[in-house]
């Protein structure tokens, strides 16, 4: 027993340089393999967060219209969506700067190519505003009953409002508003729009 103890005591405890290099190489391979998955995960998170934020803003616009007896506009331009309050009978709205959604990096307004149907029962994938193709600034209008209307002198009911979001990885989401004013979020899976769930 004394001889064995003396033979083992000459050996240093710990890891050899070769063992450390093998562990570092394996760790690097695992990290490099995980980066694309992480990138896709963060991209999907960003577009979903933006779609949910716009749906919440649409809900707020609907509630503000009913509570303030006014027409409220949810207006989106290049990278932001905001609310404008149009008092009854007014010809223009007042911007509410504290109620704004700014799109995340890598998310833009747009539509994925190759679609044959729109989200939420729309007739096609083009963003519509009361059956008219939207201009650069996409808008939803709500009347004092919280229902979606066209921006016209009559307040024509609208059933196919939608705003489409496009991620830098090609993922797409849509925020739609039905005839009652209730917003819904859809995710593009293949060529089909499916209701997004948490």
Chain segment 157-189, per-residue pLDDT in tens: 887 788 888 888 888 888 888 888 889 999 988
Please state, rounded to an integer, the average pLDDT across all residues of the chain: 79
What pLDDT was estimated at residue 198?
61
Report the 10 Å Cβ neighbour count for 89. 7
d(CA 19, CA 7): 22
47 or 13, which is more confident: 47
Specify the number of domains making up the chain. 1
> What is the predicted pLDDT for the residue at 5?
54
181 neighbors 147 (Cβ within 8 angstroms) = yes
4 falls within a domain = no
pLDDT in tens, 98-118: 788 889 988 888 777 766 667
Question: Nearest-CA neighbor of 43 among 108, 88, 116?
Answer: 108
- Assess if residue 141 is contained within a domain: yes
Nearest by Cα to 175 from 128, 116, 114, 115: 128
Mean pLDDT of 25-33: 87
CA distance readout (Å), 187 to 44, 134, 196 = 10, 20, 6
Domain containing 60 equals 18-195
**Residue 122 belongs to a domain:** yes
Give yes or no for a contact between 100 and 82, defined as CB atoms under 8 angstroms apart. yes
Q: Retrieve residue 85's tokens.
A: 């309050």
Secondary structure class of 113 (helix, strand, coil): coil
Which among 124, 109, 129 has a CA at the least distance from the CA of 173?
109
Q: Which letter does DSSP use for residue 40 in this model?
A: H
In a domain, 186, yes or no: yes
Kindly state whether residue 42 falls inside one of the protein's structural domains. Answer: yes
Find the mean pLDDT for residues 51-76: 89
What pLDDT shows up at residue 26?
A: 93
Residue 8 lies in a domain: no
Whichever domain contains 121, its CATH number is 3.55.40.10
Q: What is the pLDDT of residues 105-153, one digit of tens each?
A: 888 887 777 666 677 666 555 554 443 444 434 778 888 888 888 877 7
Higher pLDDT, 148 or 8: 148
- For residues 119 and 137, give the distance between their C-alpha atoms in angstroms, rounded to a whole number: 19
Q: How confident is the model at residue 25 (pLDDT cuts 50, 70, 90)?
A: very high
Whether residue 5 lies inside any domain: the answer is no
User: Largest Cα–Cα distance of the chain, in whole Å?
Assistant: 103
């Amino acid at each position: 027993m004394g001889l064995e103890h003396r033979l083992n005591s000459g050996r240093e405890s710990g890891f050899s340089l070769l063992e450390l290099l093998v562990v570092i190489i394996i760790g690097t391979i695992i990290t490099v393999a995980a980066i694309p998955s992480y990138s896709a995960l963060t991209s999907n998170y960003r577009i979903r967060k933006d779609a949910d934020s716009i749906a919440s803003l649409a809900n707020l616009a609907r509630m503000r219209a009913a509570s303030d007896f006014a027409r409220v506009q949810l207006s989106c331009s290049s990278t932001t969506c905001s609310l404008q309050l149009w008092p009854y009978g007014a010809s223009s709205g007042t911007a509410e700067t504290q109620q704004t959604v700014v799109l995340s990096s890598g998310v833009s307004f747009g539509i994925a190519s190759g679609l044959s149907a729109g989200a939420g029962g729309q007739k096609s994938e083009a963003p519509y505003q009361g059956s008219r193709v939207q201009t650069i600034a996409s808008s939803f209008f709500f009347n004092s009953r919280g229902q979606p209307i066209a921006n016209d002198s009559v307040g024509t009911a609208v059933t196919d409002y939608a705003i489409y979001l496009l991620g830098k990885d090609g993922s797409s989401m849509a925020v739609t508003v039905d005839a009652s004013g209730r917003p819904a979020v859809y995710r593009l899976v293949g060529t089909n729009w499916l209701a997004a769930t948490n």
